[in-house]
Amino acid sequence: MLQKKNTQPGIVRLIFVVIFFLYFQKFSISSENVNEILHSVEIKILDKVNSQNSTLKLKIGVEQQYKNLIIKALKCQNSKFDDDPEIIAYLQVKDITIADKDKVYIFNDWTFASSPTIKPFDHPIYDIWLTKCSN
């Protein structure tokens, strides 16, 4: 007598796994959309030579020139936790006075508002600090 394999439980498990995956993927996409709502980054720039402090508001994805620097913010995100707020942004900074074509960016990394020394912006004339992300 031939025995039949019961394929019903395998199909049910597969359907359950697919539904589970799609359900949680929906939540991950919606959390990314919340971060994309932020349209601008506010940074402070210190000119060490003149001791001048300036505030600059950058739109996400748009290059903006400040004296010898071209600054572009690619992403900005506020933390989801209220007890210890953290603001992070991905910045790209070019110095137009540098003629070396091999070094495009003098800074191309994430920066943190609460701890700017984690990924410091090292420049002989300017210091940059992230202050906030906004709509």
pTM score of the predicted model: 0.67
pLDDT, tens digit (0-9, with 9 covering 90-100), for 57-91: 999 999 999 998 999 999 998 877 766 678 899 99
Which is more confident, 65 or 103?
65
| Gyration radius of the chain's alpha carbons | 23
Q: Is 94 within 8 Å of 70 (Cβ atoms)?
A: yes
Average pLDDT in the chain: 80
pLDDT greater at residue 11 or residue 32? 11
Helix (H, G, I), strand (E, B) or coil at 61: coil
Q: What is the pLDDT of residues 23-46, one digit of tens each?
A: 666 554 444 444 445 689 999 999
Contact 125, 96 (CB under 8 A): no
Is the distance from CB of 119 to CB of 110 less than 8 angstroms? yes
Would you state the pLDDT for residue 10?
67
Domain segments of the chain: what residues?
A: 6-36, 39-134
Q: Who has greater pLDDT, 17 or 69? A: 69
Q: Can you give the pLDDT at residue 48?
A: 92
pLDDT at 58: 94
